[in-house]
Structures are given as C-alpha cells and as structure tokens.
Amino acid sequence: MRIGLLTGGGDCPGLNAAIRAVVKQGLGEYGHSIIGFRNGWKGVVDGDVMPLERQHIRNVLPVGGTLLGTARFHPREEDGSMEAVLATLEAERIEALICIGGDGTLHAASRVADAGVKIVAIPKTIDNDVAGTDLSIGYHTAVNIAAEAIDRIHTTAESHNRVMVIEVMGRHAGWIAVNAGIAGGAEIVLAPEEPFDMDKIIKFLKHRHKAHANFSIVVVAEGAHAVPGSSMEYEVQLGKYGEIVAGAIGERVATEIQTRTGFDTRLTVLGHVQRGGSPTTTDRILGSRFGVAAVDAITRGESNVMTALRGEEVVLVPLPEVAGKVKAVPADLLRTARALA
C-alpha cells in the first residue's frame, strides 16, 4: 500500500517517535510505502513529498519537533485547497493517509475523510485537549517542563518575597496549568474551565502573606479569563487570525496583583519552551504505540478513526465523534488544585 503521512498544527515532542513507528511498522511488518508530506496539509496542497525510508528515522526518537515539518494551515473548500489535496493524493497514488495533529488538523482530516479518502488520525497537542483520548502526544513533556519551571521560580520567589505569575500554554483547556500547578505546588491556578474572580485572589493573597508566607506562585493558562462583570474586566485578547495572544492574560493578572496588593510581582511567560526539546519516555512510548496502531488499523481497512489511549489500552475511536471537540479539565482535578492552595 502507499500510505501518506503528515504532521499538522503546532509541533511538539514525541512526533518523531510516531513518524518512526509508522515507518518501521509500515515498511518492516507489511512492506507498505510511506510517503511523507512536508509541512502538514500545506505539503499535500503543494505536492511537497518526502518518501520515508529507514535512514530518515535513524536517531530521531529522542529529538523534539517533527522531521516532516508542520504548518498551521488547513484545507478549505472555499479557496480550492481541498480540491488540491484530493488532486495530490490521486497523483501520488496515496491509498490511505495518517494525519498526526491537534484540533485543527483532525477537523480537516475528518472533512477529507468525508470526501472519500481513507484516514487514520493520531492525536498530538501539548494542550492535551483532544477529545476521546486520555493523552495526546506532547502533553507529558510539556507539563514536566512547566512543573520544573515552577520549581525553579519557587526558590527565587521565596528569596525575594515576591508573587510570581507564570503563564503557561492552554488556549481552550487548562491541563498544563492545573497539573503543573499541582505538581509544582502553586498557590493559585487559573484555567479557562473556571473563570476567576480577582477580588477573591487579592483577598487570598493578602491573607496568606499576612498569616504565614512571604511569597506566592500563581499559574495562569493563556486562555484563562475573569468572571464576567467581576472587578477585573477582561476579555480574552485575540490576534489577527483569531488566536489567543500569548502573554496578555499573564501581564494583566500580574499588574492587577501588583497594584491591588502592593506585593512585588513578576511575570514569566513560558511560551514555546514548553513545546521544544527531547520528549519524555511517556511521549516516546505513546507516539510509538499510536504509530504502530495507526498502520495496523489502515492495513485492516479501517478509516475515519483516531488512535486513542483509554486507560492502559490503545483503541480506535470514530474521528467525527472527536474532531473539533475540546476535552476540558474535569471538575475534581480543578477542585484538587484549589484545595492545595
């Protein structure tokens, strides 16, 4: 079989493990050909192919990013790019496509599947917000990086008697903020799932600093926002493509705390540090398992499905049921973060 492979959307650690697994299982177990497309859906539109052989995947397991490249580009019917996708797949005689991506890439994959292409998707995003799977590739590494950063910030916070605000990634869900916050011992965690009340935060900080502490750690997800109508009016800041502007909410929260408490306050925006570097063993193993499962599924003739981790098992879930849906942090996890303030 000729199987196409692409990585789309933001990169993350663990993508190369998945690519490697697809190539090894495809070539070794079944004798398929694996045709990589450079830069996600953009490469499919442009016919930018990279046939993958064993030499391409040598030593890539511990390397972050994606050897295929990626882009924030999704094919659409309106501008002819969907038609171009179908034309390239036909020209390259691609019989099935493996798409590794987050919400945008998977949504596009589902539409390409509707057009008759055999598709198996693999979920990746450091935000961990793809529905239907316990874990997505990249999240475990990112949450470790964020927790380690909080640990480091702790010591300087304490030395200088400061409030430290740390903004982490997470546009639509607060998985990194909540779990890195718990693991790093943050006093306050702000996530998109639970709009915050700045009055309560100020009261809490004043009480804590008067009663028993001289520093505090506040972790903010980039998609966090205030309760509408509360004392801190804040609407999520959007850039020209409708994306959430990194650093905006962190800046606003830090300024508000500094002004209303008088405590010396500093902001750290972790940004793309969370997306770079070598994957953890969990992400290497998850990427490898998803890669093998995707090739097995395609070979069995499955289509319009996504590999997913459910407990200890890798299973397949229908792509239309999960594409474009956000997996929010559950209430009990949010409560745990609050309880540990």
Catalytic residues, by residue number, are 127
Q: Where are the beta strands (DSSP E) in the chain?
A: 2-7, 33-37, 49-52, 96-101, 119-123, 163-168, 188-190, 216-221, 265-269, 305-310, 313-318
Q: Which is nearer to ligand F6P, 75 or 170 (CB)?
A: 170
Q: Which is nearer to ligand F6P, 26 or 174 (CB)?
A: 174
Q: Is 111 assigned a ligand-binding role in the annotation?
A: no
Q: How far is the CB of 147 from ligand F6P (least distance, A)?
A: 16
Q: Is 69 assigned a ligand-binding role in the annotation?
A: no
Contact 186, 220 (CB under 8 A): no
Q: Which is nearer to ligand F6P, 162 or 171 (CB)?
A: 171
Q: How far is the CB of 55 from ligand F6P (least distance, A)?
A: 29
Q: How far is the CB of 254 from ligand F6P (least distance, A)?
A: 19
Q: Is 105 assigned a ligand-binding role in the annotation?
A: yes
Residue 52, phi then psi, degrees to nearest 5: -100, 125
Q: Is 272 assigned a ligand-binding role in the annotation?
A: yes
Q: How far is the CB of 104 from ligand F6P (least distance, A)?
A: 8
In angstroms, the CA 76 to CA 55 distance is 34
The H-assigned helical ranges of 24-102 are 41-46, 81-91
Q: How far is the CB of 70 from ligand F6P (least distance, A)?
A: 10
Residue numbers at the binding site for ligand F6P (CB under 6 A): 9-10, 72, 102, 125-127, 169-171, 222, 244, 275
Q: Is 10 assigned a ligand-binding role in the annotation?
A: yes
Contact 130, 121 (CB under 8 A): no
Contacts of 109 (CB under 8 A, 6+ apart): 97, 99, 101, 119, 121, 319, 323
Which of 95, 108, 117 lies closest to 35 in space, CA to CA? 95
Torsion of CA 32, 283, 191, 326, to 10 degrees: 20
Query: What number of H helices and E strands is found in the chain?
Result: 11, 11
Q: Which residue is nearest to ligand F6P (CB)?
A: 169
Q: Which is nearer to ligand F6P, 2 or 172 (CB)?
A: 172
Q: Which is nearer to ligand F6P, 13 or 102 (CB)?
A: 102
Q: Is 98 assigned a ligand-binding role in the annotation?
A: no
User: Known binding site: residues?
Assistant: 10, 72-73, 102-105, 125-127, 162, 169-171, 222, 266, 272-275
Q: Which residues are annotated as a binding site for substrate?
A: 125-127, 162, 169-171, 222, 266, 272-275
